[in-house]
Structure 1
């Protein structure tokens, strides 16, 4: 059931509306955000009925566009050019929101010093169905109730005291769905190699991962407790776990995956600051 978007008013401008920003927007519209409240600046985004869309900031300005809330959803490397145009307009009580990887609240404050608040948001793609997890950190005089109203329909929200860990959160939850999809894809491929049809293997893998994560979330137990409920000494599950746990290779692999994604976020931050 879609959570309704309450306690949010004002005009919202999306600068960039690709996969992630588009997923957020579609969820907001489904939750009751008035289409007349939204404008998109993106030359290639999929049009939404009733939502005004411009190909450039200049076109939006020429049309007399105004906004109370601005969300940056373009590539981090475009921050400088966008800020040059938007900063004079993002003043007073305007909230400047960003889903840009690697771009810190301090970076936003430098680029948009006149904004009433800078809001750094890290959602993930499951926001499309209201099952996402979104980390948020703010700087300035933020309207916490309105921010909560925007984020609530997207799924679970985690409010951070500051954004010092956001690069890791970006890798952990923002990139995380892609890593899980890859695991499912590889699990299904293994089933196929051992004799299942491609269709059956993917269906079984998807249901197995989905059911396991749903059970974990519903039970309130730690993963180890549930593992013990599935595995028995000397049984088939334990034989597979022995391979997964061999020499700590799985934990090491996932640590390296997260480290690489986190470090790339830092590199993108340098590029956004013109330091790369």
Structure 2
């Protein structure tokens, strides 16, 4: 694949690095720039430096895995790589192609992506969009890097990255909140808090795995577990009512998408 520079090795950057190495990327082809000593990888063969200024050779791909608020500080030194034709793959929320063009130059080859936290267990999903100057071959290399931690979807319209952020980028938090709410409701019915949480966690995790392995749509899986006149049907009357769960999610995702636009400036 060629030389790769990973800028930032926190939770997401570290998960991606592990995924790349597990899929056969040579450690000798990776340089990690991470200012925090405790976060630098100790993997044999991977060169780790404190700053991108310590990297002289232009990499084929630069993966930007720093927090969005830190991006302004790292891009000035990286412009030299953009000028030499390196491809930039960003996983920073809210940082647009226009933003990178203003810092790296209008001809910079940039792919903007939005992964989510299940990437930590290689079960994530990333959505990506590319600047005009990125070739199909370069997009494919970025696809392979993102695919190391889960599924990858591409969009041509960058404006879709805001609803993507609202749905899949922020989505794991909604699922975790669902677990909390189910456990709390179970405890109110008399279960111990520990048992209620154990049941809720296992139910959501198991249902997710069933959803992953099944070829049936989510709507059919719901029907499969719903006996007419039974307990599930009674609960779904509440959850699927006009004032049930759907309007709440409509409002929640709209708020998240709106905030994503605001953060992008």
- Regarding TM over 0.5, the answer is yes
Corresponding residue for residue 46 of structure 1: 39
Q: In structure 1, how many angstroms separate the alpha carbons of the residues matched to 2:57 and 2:190?
A: 59
- Structure 2 counterpart of 1:134, from 101, 122, 126: 126
Q: In structure 2, how many angstroms separate the alpha carbons of the residues matched to 1:221 and 1:30?
A: 30
Aligned residues: 259
The answer to whether residue 183 in structure 2 is matched with residue 197 in structure 1 is no
Alignment of 1:1-276 (within 5 A): 9-44=1-36, 46-49=39-42, 50=44, 51-58=46-53, 60-61=54-55, 64=56, 66-113=58-105, 117-139=109-131, 140-142=133-135, 143-270=138-265
Higher relative contact order (CA 8 A, sep 6+): 1
TM-score for both structures, normalised by structure 2? 0.87
Instruction: State the 1:177 CA deviation.
Output: 1.2
Instruction: State the 1:68 CA deviation.
Output: 2.0
Listed one character per residue, the Cα deviations across residues 22-62 of structure 1 (whole Å, up to 9, x for unaligned) are: 2212221222222222222222352322333333334x24x
Q: In structure 1, how many angstroms separate the alpha carbons of the residues matched to 2:31 and 2:181?
A: 40
TM-score for both structures, normalised by structure 1? 0.84
Instruction: State the 1:114 CA deviation.
Output: 6.5
Structure 1 alignment gaps of length 5 or more: 1-8, 271-276
- Give the 4+ runs in structure 1 shifted more than 6 A: none
